[in-house]
Chain A
Amino acid sequence: DAKTTQPPSMDCAEGRAANLPCNHSTISGNEYVYWYRQIHSQGPQYIIHGLKNNETNEMASLIITEDRKSSTLILPHATLRDTAVYYCIVRGNAGNNRKLIWGLGTSLAVNP
């Protein structure tokens, strides 16, 4: 089973920041937090990942709490094309424990 908990759905106004929360209270020390998204009928798309420090790239920012039990994905200026299901995934990076275990994600609707 997935080690993460996400709200099933969220709404966001176009141009505003979308803040998507994720709980991963059982995360272990060598596990990373990954975010992927899936736009309807397409393959999943990598967004960002992190271990304990906050991360930022051209798509989003990832804020991980100090105890690493939760994180927030931030899309700073959401557009209609950001409407998708967003998946928060905890994953190890060692040995054979690298598969992605998916939950149901958060369905984000960006509204005009």
Chain B
Amino acid sequence: EPEVTQTPSHQVTQMGQEVILRCVPISNHLYFYWYRQILGQKVEFLVSFYNNEISEKSEIFDDQFSVERPDGSNFTLKIRSTKLEDSAMYFCASSGDRLNEKLFFGSGTQLSVL
């Protein structure tokens, strides 16, 4: 079965540094998402992306966050200046249908901000 691929699996960074989390969605999918999960807490929606623009974002997704689909295959999440509270597992997801009925999730990137 096709899968969503995320790299790296673990990322350690210093507070204030920029990080880019990378995702390769399933090739014919058109809808892309980032979610995150702080250890022991709920999964939280960050942003959805379709047709090269953000279609919805949460309060968490402030101006320190950005997303990009630079080359038609990768989908990236950038955090410009990381904070300690950005430490979490970040999940990328994609969907191929207009109604977004079934989301396929990657295995996540564990971000640790020191």
Q: Give me the interface of A with B, judged by CB distance under 8 Å.
A: 2, 32, 36, 38, 41-46, 49, 87, 93, 96, 98-104
Contacts and interface: CB of A to CB of B under 8 A. Distances in A.
Given A43-B91, A93-B99, A93-B100, A99 B58 contact: yes
Interface residues of B, number: 23
Interface in B1-52: 4, 33, 35, 42-45, 48
Nearest to A46: B102
30 contacts: A32-B101, A38-B43, A42-B107, A42-B108, A43-B91, A43-B93, A43-B107, A43-B108, A44-B43, A44-B91, A44-B93, A44-B103, A45-B105, A46-B104, A93-B101, A96-B55, A98-B48, A98-B56, A98-B100, A99-B33, A99-B45, A99-B48, A99-B56, A99-B58, A100-B43, A100-B103, A101-B45, A102-B42, A102-B43, A103-B42
Interface of B: 4, 33, 35, 42-45, 48, 55-56, 58, 91, 93, 99-108
Contacts, number: 50
A42 B104 CA distance: 12
B103 A96 contact: no
A77 B67 CA distance: 41
A43 B106 contact: yes
Contacts of A46: 102-104
B2 to A, nearest CB: 13
A41 B43 CA distance: 12
Nearest to A47: B102
Contacts of B42: 2, 102-104
Nearest to B3: A43
